[in-house]
Amino acid sequence: MSLANPHTTRETERYERYLTTERHAAALTTSAYLRDLRQFIDYLQATGKDDIAKVTAQDVRRWVLTLMDKEGDTPRSVRRKLSSLNSFFRFEMREGKMTKNPARLVIVPKMAKTLPYFFQEKEMDAALDRQEANGEEETLEEMRDQLILDLFYQTGMRVSELCNVKESDFDYSRRSLKVIGKRQKERRIPLGDGIIASVRAYVERRNAEIGGTERLLTRMSGEAVYPRMVYNIVKEHMSRVSTLGKRSPHVLRHTFASTLLNAGADIYAVKELLGHASLASTEIYTHSTFAQLLKTYKQAHPRGS
């Protein structure tokens, strides 16, 4: 395939037809793939290459370095562009224009792991401190919202798991909660006396006001709460006590894990409580807790700075 006029070349047009008619790629996806391909072709032209069929893995590696060093692309952007090249080279191999895929031999740059957000203990204390406004008794809705925050903080459940919890999932005698996680994997989470008392008080009042339901947490109509609704409830309440950029149910899950690890909990136990399939998913919290320890050390130790 000649690079003389990459924007009008017949091969590029055939590749575009392949994306839209055979792969049924969305218009934006097709546009992105072609844009990435043309950027690579422009780079090849600048280096004196005139035939894309002769591209080597070394050519692709040099392009990746150019993207990161001179263009300032992020690892995420580079990974996407390599994916675009992979798709194109596979097409060329299918068409018999190339015998191997040079992009397949290039190691994609690792994406930097972002540390999880979590709320401070004082913020959680403020959020969970029940203060009756003007001495008035809290409504059932307020009681439910408070329980949602408390359950997230004390169990580390995912929002989908919380929405699906039934009263029958609680074992009051054993002080535990059965949770059905991803891939229908079941786990048991221990509970303290306080949260058990809160659940029982809420159920008793809910049954009295709107009747018994299968799901634990419901709307005032008796229908179960849903993820977007729970997200909005958490965001509204945590916005009152925290200036954290993210204030979502997942941040409460992070807070649960970080709180346990900061208190010296075994990482394998935290893994089981969170329902993680791999320890690698749990280890991200150790980076967060170490960062907190380092901050404390620098503040407290006379030679820490």
What sign for the dihedral angle of Cα 180, 182, 184, 189? negative
Burial class (CB in 10 A: 0-12, 13-18, 19+), 205: middle
Q: How far apart are CA 191 and CA 185, in angstroms?
A: 19
- Smallest CA-to-CA distance from 217 within 172, 150, 171 is with 150
Catalytic choice (144, 158, 247, 271): 158
Catalytic choice (144, 253, 254, 271): 253
Place of tokens 């900061």: 262
CA triple 252-247-194, angle to 5 deg: 35
**Is 33 assigned a catalytic role?**
no
**Is 24 assigned a catalytic role?**
no
Q: What values do phi and psi take at 131, rounded to 5?
A: -120, 120
Q: Per the structure block, which two tokens stand in for 193? A: 């006396």
Helices (H), the chain: 10-17, 27-46, 57-69, 75-94, 121-128, 140-155, 159-164, 193-210, 227-239, 249-262, 267-274, 279-300
Q: Per the structure block, which two tokens stand in for 282? A: 């749990």
Q: Which residues contact 82 (CB under 8 A, 6 or more apart)?
A: 60, 64, 103, 106, 108
**Is 10 assigned a catalytic role?**
no
**Is 90 assigned a catalytic role?**
no
Q: In this structure, are residues 142 and 131 in contact, taking their beta carbons and an 8 Å threshold?
A: no
Catalytic choice (7, 104, 174, 182): 182
Q: Per the structure block, which two tokens stand in for 184? A: 């229908």
Q: Per the structure block, which two tokens stand in for 228? A: 């977007």
Query: Residue type for 287, please?
Result: H
Place of tokens 């169990």: 155
**Is 35 assigned a catalytic role?**
no
**Is 287 assigned a catalytic role?**
no
Place of tokens 């406004």: 133
Positions annotated as catalytic residues are: 158, 182, 250, 253, 276, 285
